[in-house]
Chain A
Amino acid sequence: MNATLATLSSATDIARAVRTGRVRAVEVALAALEAIAARDGEIKAVNTVLGDRALHAAAAIDAAVARGQDPGPLAGVPIGLKALFDVADQPTTAGAAMRIDTAPALRDAALLRRLTAAGAVPIAVLNMDEYAYGFATVNAHFGTTRNPRDTARLAGGSSGGSAAAVAAGMLPLTWGSDTNGSIRVPASLCGVWGFRPAHGSVPEDGSFPFVPMLDTLGPFTNTLDDLRLAAEVAQGEPIAPMTARRVARLGGWFVDHAIPDLYKAFAGIEALLGMLPMAELPQVEAARAAAFLITAHDGGRLHRQDLSKRPLAFDPETRDRLLAGNLVPTPLRARAALFGEWFRKQALALLQRYDVLIAPATPDVAPLIADPVIHTGFGPAPARANLGMLAQPISLAGVPVLSAPLKRPGQLPLGLQLIGAPGREGLLFDLAARLEVAGVLGV
């Protein structure tokens, strides 16, 4: 890692240093560009480097500071964006080779405009599964993103480039999307913090859609303070301070499908909070199945025109899933959505009884790229189809989820989902902070 980034390893530190004129934003941007040049040849998290734009934006921030102006809470913070965000003058590929020659975006996505207005400096466009349909970031055109904690392993997906860029120390803050777990899965496998906001709480204009009923946009960071800062800027309002008192562990599906390492994590949590009650969300397997069906149906229809004209231009893995999704009858999708409404009500009812529900984010650690198999509690299973099995049901509920890395020195990363009710995100950050202080969570 570059010395500047090493001494200013968090977005919060960088913004503080830039705002007070202690460090120039241009210096930080150059350090991030240097870190990408040094590290990304191996990791393959970055699809496009925005060098000129980054240096111009950083210079403008330095000029503002020199004039005595405050550039904002993300002053000079270098950021990366999953390849589905519109970035002015760049094609929005959404990870698809067929979109490389598409017309450049006329302006930044709404969320990116909010971030740059707060002083952030866009540095790079980041790798993803084609059209966000996957949990691996294995991309036939842009390459496979490697996990910085063990480069023989997958980073997870579909926001794998975003998680890996943070884990590798290339960028302190990146942005991804989460439809069925695409923030929580790579955050867990790469050992970084992630946040899936409540559905609809962050502006999505100018981001390439996948399944609008489930799509959300959120950050990855190396520190909890940065995660909170990023979430507040994205949501356009502070997260109210709250104290989480009623905490439960999700049982059933979430216990049955996780490896024993994850059980051990709860011992540390219970040492702090006392024995946790086991809460049951009903019909979790069906929630996963409903989200799967809705995704196949809506994703398939979204891409039907391209599938009819040039099916062989798709990544084969994505293409066959999208084609099959087109054969799901719309009345089935409607029934799955009806079930989804019922499931959301059950989740919100449970979140009236408890402030925070805790569940593993992934069943297992990052699988090997050469042998993509995970253990789910019932033995080995194909990684691509099952990495999201603990995240996908929660997507259907549409509630906010903080993805928290377990402190596991010397071991491969694993993450937890801290699940709460919309509007009570402060409870998630409070619990995460206390578990971080206790040494249970952290990078």
Chain B
Amino acid sequence: MSDNVGDDTGHAMAEGFHPTRWSEDQIRDRALAQGLNLPDACMPGIKANLALLEDRWATVEAALAAIGDVR
């Protein structure tokens, strides 16, 4: 996997979460890395939800930038 790996290690970079750029194969690979085998029937719903999550992350990221990083 290339950018923004969706893992649980904490080592992945948080910035730049762009799942709408992922191909279906990439989505499946990332899910498999979590132990999830995606049924075909789920793919449209997952893509729609990933698009929402991408939008929500962009909003949070912009807010963090606006308030001056709170880390």
Interface residues of A (CB under 8 A from B): 282-283, 285-286, 288-290, 292-293, 296, 301, 304, 307-308, 311-312, 316-317, 319-321, 323-332, 334-336, 338-339, 341-342, 385
Chain B interface, >50% SS class: helix
Contacts beyond the supplied A321-B49, A329-B17, A331-B14: 17 A-B pairs with Cβ under 8 Å: A285-B59, A289-B55, A289-B57, A292-B53, A292-B56, A304-B34, A319-B45, A321-B45, A324-B53, A327-B19, A327-B30, A329-B4, A329-B12, A330-B8, A330-B9, A335-B64, A339-B63
Contact B59–A342 (Cβ < 8 Å): no
Which chain B residues lie closer than 8 Å to A289 at the CB level? Answer: 55-57, 59-60, 63
Contact A324–B46 (Cβ < 8 Å): yes
Which chain A residues lie closer than 8 Å to B46 at the CB level? Answer: 320, 323-324, 327
Which chain B residues lie closer than 8 Å to A328 at the CB level? Answer: 6, 17, 53, 57
Known A296-B53, A329-B17, A331-B12; contact A320-B34, beta-carbon cutoff 8 A: no
Partner of B5, one of A311, A329, A334: A329
Contact B64–A308 (Cβ < 8 Å): no
Partner of A324, one of B13, B49, B59: B49
A286 to B56, CA, bound (A): 8
Closest B residue to A292 by beta carbon equals B56
A296 to B61, CA, bound (A): 17
Contact B63–A286 (Cβ < 8 Å): yes
Known A323-B42, A324-B46; contact A293-B60, beta-carbon cutoff 8 A: yes
Which chain A residues lie closer than 8 Å to B39 at the CB level? Answer: 311-312
Please, what's the 1-or-0 string for B25-41, where 1 marks a CB less than 8 Å from any CB in chain A? Answer: 00100110011111101
A328 to B57, CA, bound (A): 10
Interface residues of B (CB under 8 A from A): 4-10, 12-14, 17, 19, 27, 30-31, 34-39, 41-42, 45-46, 48-50, 52-53, 55-57, 59-64, 66-67, 70-71
Which chain A residues lie closer than 8 Å to B4 at the CB level? Answer: 329
Q: Measured between C-beta atoms, what is the minimum distance from B31 to chain A in Å?
A: 7
Which chain A residues lie closer than 8 Å to B42 at the CB level? Answer: 311, 316, 319-320, 323
Question: Would you list 23 pairs from A and B whose C-beta atoms are within 8 A, ordered by A residue?
Answer: A286-B60, A292-B52, A293-B57, A301-B8, A311-B38, A312-B39, A316-B41, A320-B42, A321-B45, A326-B31, A326-B34, A327-B27, A327-B31, A327-B53, A328-B17, A329-B12, A329-B17, A331-B10, A331-B14, A335-B61, A338-B71, A339-B64, A339-B70
Which chain B residues lie closer than 8 Å to A293 at the CB level? Answer: 53, 56-57, 60
Q: Measured between C-beta atoms, what is the minimum distance from B12 to chain A in Å?
A: 5
Q: Measured between C-beta atoms, what is the minimum distance from A282 to chain B in Å?
A: 8
Partner of B48, one of A292, A320, A332: A320
Which chain A residues lie closer than 8 Å to B50 at the CB level? Answer: 324, 327
Which chain A residues lie closer than 8 Å to B30 at the CB level? Answer: 327
Contact B67–A342 (Cβ < 8 Å): yes
Q: Measured between C-beta atoms, what is the minimum distance from A168 to chain B in Å?
A: 32
Q: Measured between C-beta atoms, what is the minimum distance from B57 to chain A in Å?
A: 6
Contact B60–A339 (Cβ < 8 Å): yes
Closest A residue to B5 by beta carbon equals A329
Q: Measured between C-beta atoms, what is the minimum distance from A319 to chain B in Å?
A: 6
Known A289-B59, A324-B50, A329-B17; contact A342-B34, beta-carbon cutoff 8 A: no
Contact A283–B12 (Cβ < 8 Å): no
Contact B6–A283 (Cβ < 8 Å): no
Partner of B36, one of A292, A308, A317, A330: A308
Q: Measured between C-beta atoms, what is the minimum distance from A334 to chain B in Å?
A: 7
Closest B residue to A340 by beta carbon equals B60
Known A321-B49, A323-B46; contact A329-B71, beta-carbon cutoff 8 A: no
A317 to B42, CA, bound (A): 9
Which chain A residues lie closer than 8 Å to B17 at the CB level? Answer: 328-329, 332
Closest B residue to A333 by beta carbon equals B14
Which chain B residues lie closer than 8 Å to A316 at the CB level? Answer: 41-42, 45
A327 to B46, CA, bound (A): 10
A293 to B6, CA, bound (A): 13
A2 to B17, CA, bound (A): 56
A288 to B36, CA, bound (A): 28
Closest A residue to B64 by beta carbon equals A339
A327 to B32, CA, bound (A): 10
A317 to B34, CA, bound (A): 20
